[in-house]
Amino acid sequence: MQAHMALGSTNANHGSTCSVRASFERQLTISELKTEERNQKLSRYRKKKSKRNFGRKIKESLSRQSAEGPRETKSYKAKESRSKLPYNHISGSRSFAAAMSLIKSKNDGQAPSFPEFYKETHYQKKKKVWVNEKAQDTYEQLVNKTTEQSQSEVTSPMNEFEISIEVLGRRPGYLKGYGIHLRGSSSTRSLAKSAERDAEVVALKETVAVQAEQIASQAEQIASQAEQIASQAEQMNAQAEQMNAQAQKTAELEALVHQLFARSQPAASGGSRDFSSR
């Protein structure tokens, strides 16, 4: 009878120990869930705070720009004035030399004939209209003159620069239609040669400028990618820290459960011995 009672007491103590362990495991699970929920709330709060800070920075930047005044005002007025210039071509504020360089870059470095270049800068393709009747008449003259000079009976044909000077007229120190500034010389032939040299210089300058823009654009892309990589690294480090912190807390809770479980065993076995001795 006493043996049966001792066995029942041992089973009861064992069941109590299991219930204690199960209780701590439930507490551990609840604690982990609370930690995860707290981390999610903290992440949402940081995102909201980041958005608020971004909006505040934009407002501060705009207020600084409005407070600085003179330089920004002059820049805006200059831009507005440029937009109102009565251009008789479609290149806007872009020079003819820059327009020529752009067309060449689109055509694999091949320059168009002067009549075609004139059309590119004076004919609106979307609307299918010339900027004015004079531009259309000038284009037709250029085409006719170019065709005339290409005939076999012409012993000393004019080049495109000479045709430009004859059709568009002269302007001291400037070659119309090309946007090239000239120096010295008064004869048509010498002006054409000077224009040809200057055109080569302008083309080289434009090529260098385009390459410089490409290099600057690539540098910006590299800098942007570097920032993205740094941001991703920071996020990964933050996640790793969170995981380490959670792992440490989990280990501490498991150690506490084992300690309590170990303490409860001697007490349970001692109680069974006392009961059996009675």
195-207 residue pLDDT tens: 556 666 666 777 7
Q: Which residues contact 149 (CB under 8 A, 6 or more apart)?
A: 157, 158, 163
Give the span between the Cα atoms of 96 and 181, in whole angstroms: 11
Q: What are the pLDDT digits (tens) for 20-51? A: 556 655 555 666 666 677 777 777 777 766 66
Is 268 in contact with 16 (CB distance < 8 Å)? yes
**What's the whole-model pTM score?**
0.39
Query: Quick check: helix, strand or coil at residue 206?
Result: helix
* Better-scored residue on pLDDT, 6 or 203: 203
- Residue ranges covered by each domain of the chain: 1-278
Query: Quick check: helix, strand or coil at residue 268?
Result: helix
User: What are the phi and psi torsion angles at 69 (to 5°)?
Assistant: 75, -95
Distance separating the N- and C-terminal Cα atoms of the chain: 12
Query: What pLDDT, on the 0 to 100 scale, is given for residue 278?
Result: 47
Query: Quick check: helix, strand or coil at residue 169?
Result: coil
Q: pLDDT band at 167, cuts 50/70/90?
A: confident
